[in-house]
A and B are shown apart, each in its own frame.
Chain A
Amino acid sequence: MAIFECRQLTKRYGSTTALDHIDLSLEPGRIVGLLGPNGSGKTTLIKLAARLLTPSSGQILIDGEVPGPETKAMISYLPDREFLPEYMNTRQLLNLYQDFYADFVPARAEEMLSSLDIRPNIPVRKLSKGTREKVRLILTMSRDAKVYMLDEPIAGVDPAARDYILKTIIGNYEPEALVLISTHLISDVESVLDEAVFLKEGHIVLHKSVDEIREEHGMSVDDYFRDVFRC
């Protein structure tokens, strides 16, 4: 059974259509790349699944349910922006996650924080940009969620940090979970992906396994992406 399903899902902002009647079905136990250029609808799709946006028409279902408190309990979502209250320190954030998410594993978060020498008593506003990014990722990946939605997790960080982030994702997700990674930096994530979904101007133009793309087109996902989205 699909854990992430869109049925004729449409989202309009005024006269602009961000997602246009898309149908998509994703199975658990897969790492899926949601790939497309800026403005293709990647973030809109993830925000609809997180219920931060309301669909204009159509439906999105997580584990068969319309987004709500029950689906939020099973989704671990990493937004593409700073979303943590700046006055809170890492310790308080850990407590907040532990208070609200039954699947949060504090020991895992503590271990990652200490391996990165991030002190728990420093407020978010005093952390460097890269460290904040890591704290956000650690909080997200320290849950035993059914669905992980990571929106641009590697954009804006240096290559060493990218390696760390990918290693963290691979090392911490539940094997039976769906990991949805949205990015336009394909070469960096290609090695970890099982499937790729190409989004273009609000339409899904391709949904295949990474192996299929390589076999059928004789090129890497990154090269194929450049081919499809050539300006």
Chain B
Amino acid sequence: MGKLLKFELQSGSRLLLPLYIAAIILSALTAATIKTTMESIGAVTFIVGLINVLYVVVIIAIAVVTSIMIVLHFQRNLMGSQGYLMFSLPVTTGEHIFAKALGALIWTILSIIVSGITLFILLTFGQDSVAEAFEAYRYAMSVFGQLVRENMLTTILLVFLFIAAIIGSIMKFYASIAVGHLWGSHPIMGAVIAYIVFGIIESNLFFLCVTVSKRFLDAIDLMIESETLPPVAAGTFLAIAVVYTLIYGFITWFVLDKKLNLE
């Protein structure tokens, strides 16, 4: 399992690590130069503007590349010609899917963290007074810390919900690609159609739940009315996210383990 994950991280690092480094450098440059924009003219303004634009481009690129990489890597590495190598390894189908999902989760969280770091650099060092910025963080952290302490259970549930939601959406992509593969001659089109059909089924199920479940409605009302998410609502959504992930995980596993027909 660890060996598969090592392979996943090796493969993603080629694309994402350079982007992470570029984003951090550009955010530092943007923070350092943003104050000069107002006072300077001509070439300096142009270069500063260029750095700012590049920073925005790299941040968008991180989000886009992370998503596309997760989908394409699964498609190419398992369903494409590399599948001949991967499916010949003495590991189970479940291990393949788990390693892919875990690798994708790690890259998603890293991309969010790096984007957060660049925002922190920008907000802190782009200010006139760094001390003032830190004072503001201290205040925000104390308020946030207080909130977390008062709602510890909800916070923990929300963290798990966040992770489950990421894995669930990744697994939906995997299940779509796997089901698309059943349509031998047009696997990509099959995957797109599968994704749309899954979406239609999901929204129908959602409306069904909303209609039939009074308790479900109450949970949503509670969420909207109160300032913090009550643990009941967070727990309900976490349970839904886990079931959602398991269903798409099972579909992916079933196709890859029982119906695999590599072109």
Interface residues of A (CB under 8 A from B): 13-14, 47, 50-54, 68-70, 72-73, 75, 77, 79, 81-85, 87, 92, 96, 99-101
Contact = CB atoms under 8 A, between A and B. Distances in A.
B14 interface: yes
Interface string B12-25: 00100000000000
B3 A52 contact: no
A54 B91 contact: no
Contacts of B259: 54
B40 interface: no
A69 B94 CA distance: 11
B7 interface: yes
A72 B91 CA distance: 8
Contacts of B3: 99-100
Nearest to B15: A87
A218 to B, nearest CB: 40
A184 to B, nearest CB: 20
Contacts of A92: 10
11 contacts: A14-B184, A50-B84, A50-B87, A53-B260, A70-B90, A83-B83, A83-B85, A87-B14, A96-B7, A100-B89, A100-B90
A47 B263 CA distance: 10
B92 interface: yes
Contact of B90 (A52, A72, A82): A72
Interface in B49-81: 77, 81
Contacts of B11: 85, 87
Contacts of B81: 81-83
Contacts of A82: 81
Nearest to A136: B85
A153 B222 CA distance: 66
Interface of B: 3, 6-7, 10-11, 14, 77, 81-85, 87-92, 184, 258-262
Nearest to B95: A69
A82 B83 CA distance: 11
Nearest to B77: A85
Given A53-B261, A85-B11, A100 B91 contact: yes
Nearest to A14: B184
Given A52-B88, A53-B260, 15 more contacts: A13-B184, A47-B262, A50-B88, A52-B87, A68-B92, A69-B91, A69-B92, A70-B90, A75-B88, A84-B82, A84-B85, A100-B3, A100-B89, A101-B89, A101-B90
A100 B95 CA distance: 13
Contacts of A87: 11, 14
Given A81-B81, A85-B11, A54 B260 contact: yes
Contact of B84 (A13, A52, A96): A52
Contact of B87 (A51, A70, A73, A101): A51
A54 B11 CA distance: 28
A51 B85 contact: no
Nearest to B262: A52
B140 to A, nearest CB: 42
Contacts of A81: 81, 84
Nearest to B7: A96
Across the A-B interface, give the 4 residue pairs with the lowest CB-CB distance, nearest first: A83-B84, A73-B90, A72-B90, A52-B262
A77 B259 CA distance: 21
A54 B258 CA distance: 7
Given A52-B262, A53-B261, A96-B7, A72 B85 contact: no
Contacts of B260: 51-54
